[in-house]
A and B are shown apart, each in its own frame.
Chain A
Amino acid sequence: MTTHPTTTSPIRAACAAILSLGALAAAVPASAQSGDTFKLGIIAPMSGPNARYGAFANKGAALAAAEINAAGGLLGKKVQLVSGDSQCVPAEGVAATQRMISLEKTPIIIGDVCSSVTLAMQPLVEESKVLLVNAASSNPDITYKAGVGGFKWTFRNYPTDEVRAATVLEYASKTKGFKKFAVLSVDSDYGRGAIKFTKRYLPKYEGAEILSEDYYKDSETDFRSVLSKIRRSGAQAIFLYGQADTTPIIARQMLELGLAGKVALVGNGEFNTKETIAAAPKVMNGAVEAAAWLPEVPAPRSLKFVEDYKKANGGEMPNNHAYTHYDTVQLIAQAVKSANSLKGEDVRNALARIKYESPMGTVVFDDHNQAVMPMVLLEITDGKPEIKGMIATKVDYSAAAAAAK
């Protein structure tokens, strides 16, 4: 094809530009390391079906970093966030973590949102002696494997699904009086983990039974077949531990199948956001969720976070992950100050002993490096989330081991 001879020169120019950018990027880590900045890593899904989690996580962390820097930084150094994309895929998350550790040399990494990725990152940070502070994964195995369980370099500043599953089950059985349940959760370590622990505690409630069990892929949009099955099974409630963006699809299709008001959603998956409720208000009324945080939490510092976040991000409402990443950066900052060091090992030791006042309440870590922190139990009433109680996410490991037998 000789009809477009002019196209070659822009391509060459672009290639040259890309090459020089690459050289620039390669030069950055070496020079920034010696400067007055402290690099804090964040691994989160920035692309793919879970990209919005990563966007919220990074914006929340950026707000915390800006606050810390405005107040003089950490031990005289400015906090600089470096971000890696996990795509919510374990292999991608591990690759991004490896790049971050070897190129950026971050002593501390916050990550990931998706449990499957966090589980894959744990052995890697252990080997590299990099401190991993998780701010958004809830699979119970993450902390079963941490602290006295093995991995010394993993901490989790987020509720574990063990407590979440037990609390939701308790409320659904005792307060709501449900006995017949169906399972419809996301097919991941998060969704399956939550159900594993729900089943572990189910025998405590007389007559409670699970009638059907289904897991969906995170790009699934057609739930009619499985919802038809659930409707015919006579289930009173669905254990839904799902992705935030799928909840409106399920709710809308439940409305279609005439399940509104007949079958309740219980579990977790951003049931409380305005958008989700608006997708099918009749279905969402009566939904029960245990969440790490929601914008309606009446604590003054939490409300201030919502205001500051909205101001910094063009009026966008923060979600759960924005808050937990904001909070985790603040937690790390306090640990750095009490350790009076930016070294991963010193900060790790400080975290184990820390008593941190988060906007939600006091946070301490148990011997599995799991945060014992407040979590919110809520029910959607008249189209609005109503807080039904605060739960301390304290795991009784010996009782849990007994229940597992």
Chain B
Amino acid sequence: MGSFLLEQIVNGIITGSVYALVAAGMTMIFGVLRAINFAHGEYYMLGTFAAWWVMTKLSADYSLAIVGGVLIVSLIAVLIGRTVMQRLIGQPFQAGVLATLGLSLILQNIVILAFGGGYKVFNGGWIEPIELGDFGMSQQRVILVVVTLAVFAGLEWMVRSTRLGRSIRAVSQNIECCQVNGIDVEQVVRKTFLIGVAIAALSGILTGPINVSIYGGMGESITLKTFAVIVMGGMGNVRGTLIAGCLLGVIESLVAGFIGLQYRDSVGFVVLLLMLMLRPHGLFSSKARF
């Protein structure tokens, strides 16, 4: 029983690290734009598809596909950042909702149009199991957790110690003051968006070998779970996102393992409702942003 519990917690942390990676970008973008990016799951999907495309069409191996996939999606992010996201600065929130929901539909359907609506098989990755005493897991999952920790450490450093990080923090506190002080807000928004999207794409590529079947609509469910994570973590709080993501993953795992898989997806929504009712500013202090 004890080891079963431990195993479910490990499973949860692995699942949760994907949620955390995707949510990190979403929460940063919310920080600078005050807009929920409804299309965020699509960048996760685009990352997986880009890597799949690099592997199948250019017959590159998986490690090259990680780099190629992130690069391709980053190019898309540069384009969307300039044409859509930077124009949302100072706009009412409805504009952000409409623009990102629209982007979500466009991106999904472009992928379906280009590659067809059917599932694709994502081959590659390091899927051989490692035996960890009582239970096994693929090498890919270990890599996923290590990369998640590295990305969050990097984000933490970037936000605290670099000029870009300082300007991101400044913009997320007060846009007008930044404009007065000569910070190029549009550029900060573009760069934040690019970082967020690249991380989402990376998490998609890293989970590809585990999820195997990929399709155009695969980003939707991750977007929904990400809402719960960013609300739990506190909107705009990067560190909180890591803990909240893992927490959601662990609760989901325990529910699936002890109650039943059919109740798993309800966890995120129940958590979201409870958070909004009881602690709308998140699990952590409302001052903890960045």
| Contact call A225/B253, Cβ cutoff below 8 A | yes
Flag whether B286 is at the interface (Cβ < 8 A).
no
- 0/1 string, B101-145, CB within 8 A of A gives 1: 000000000001000111101010001010100011110010000
Q: Which of A46, A47, A216, A225 is the one whose CB lies under 8 Å from B262?
A: A216
Q: Bound complex: CA of A252 vs CA of B209, how far in Å?
A: 9
Q: Which residues of B contact A220 (CB under 8 A)?
A: 261, 264-265
Closest A residue to B129 using CB positions = A256
Q: Count residues of chain B with CB under 8 A from any CB of chain A.
A: 42
Give chain A residues whose Cβ lies under 8 Å from the Cβ of B127. 252, 255-256
Give complex CA distance A278, B122 in Å: 11
Q: Which of A168-176, A243-251, A304-312, A367-375 contacts B (4 or more CB under 8 A)?
A: A243-251
Among listed B3-11, B178-186, B191-199, B229-237, interface-contacting one: B3-11
Q: Is the CB of A341 closer than 8 A to any CB of chain B?
A: no
Contact A246–B213 (Cβ < 8 Å): yes
Given the known A-B contacts A47-B117, A48-B217, A225-B253, are A249 and B262 also in contact in the complex, defined by CB atoms under 8 Å?
no
Given contacts A225-B256, A232-B4, A256-B137, contact A248 B261 (CB under 8 A): no
Residue B275, interface by CB 8 Å: no
Q: Is A229 an interface residue (CB 8 A)?
A: yes
Chain A contacts for B92, CB-based, 8 A: none
Q: How would residues 208 to 232 of chain A score, 1 for a CB under 8 Å from any chain B CB and 0 otherwise? A: 0000011111011111111011001
Check B221 against A219 for contact (C-beta < 8 Å).
yes
B138 touches A215 (CB 8 A): no
Interfacial residues of chain B within 253-274, with CB under 8 A of chain A in the complex: 253-254, 256-257, 260-262, 264-265
Let me know if B218 is at the binding interface, CB within 8 A: yes
Spot the interface stretch: A30-38, A49-57, A108-116, A354-362: A49-57
Main secondary structure of the interface of B (DSSP, over half): helix
Report the contact-size class of chain A (Cβ under 8 Å from the partner).
Answer: 35 or more
Set of chain A residues within 8 Å of B135, measured between Cβ atoms: 228, 257-258
**Contact indicator A249/B117 (Cβ below 8 Å):** no
Inter-chain contact B138/A256, CB cutoff 8 Å: yes
Q: Say yes or no: A258 contacts B136, CB within 8 Å.
A: yes
* A221 touching B211, Cβ below 8 Å: yes
Interchain CA distance A220-B253 in the complex, whole Å:
13
Using Cβ atoms and an 8 Å threshold, which residues of chain A touch B11?
222, 224-225, 228
User: When the two chains form the complex, which single residue of A184, A252, A253, A279 contacts B261, counting CB atoms closer than 8 Å?
Assistant: A184
**Distance between Cα atoms of A221 and B8 in the complex (Å):** 16
Least CB distance from B65 to A in Å reads 18
> Across the interface, which residues of A come within 8 angstroms of B220, CB to CB?
219
Q: Does A67 contact B (CB under 8 A)?
A: no
Residue numbers of B with Cβ under 8 A of A are 4, 7-8, 11-12, 14-15, 112, 116-119, 121, 123, 127, 129, 131, 135-138, 141, 207, 210-213, 215, 217-218, 220-221, 252-254, 256-257, 260-262, 264-265
**Complex A-B: 27 CB contacts under 8 Å:** A47-B117, A51-B118, A217-B262, A219-B221, A220-B265, A221-B207, A221-B210, A222-B11, A222-B252, A222-B256, A222-B264, A224-B253, A225-B254, A228-B135, A245-B119, A245-B213, A246-B213, A248-B121, A252-B127, A253-B210, A255-B129, A256-B129, A256-B210, A257-B129, A258-B131, A278-B123, A279-B121
Enumerate the 8 nearest inter-chain pairs by beta-carbon distance, A residue then B residue, closest first. Answer: A52-B118, A51-B117, A225-B256, A214-B261, A245-B119, A225-B257, A258-B136, A215-B262
Interface residue ranges, A against B (CB under 8 Å): 46-49, 51-52, 54-55, 184, 187, 213-217, 219-226, 228-229, 232, 245-246, 248-249, 252-253, 255-258, 275, 278-279
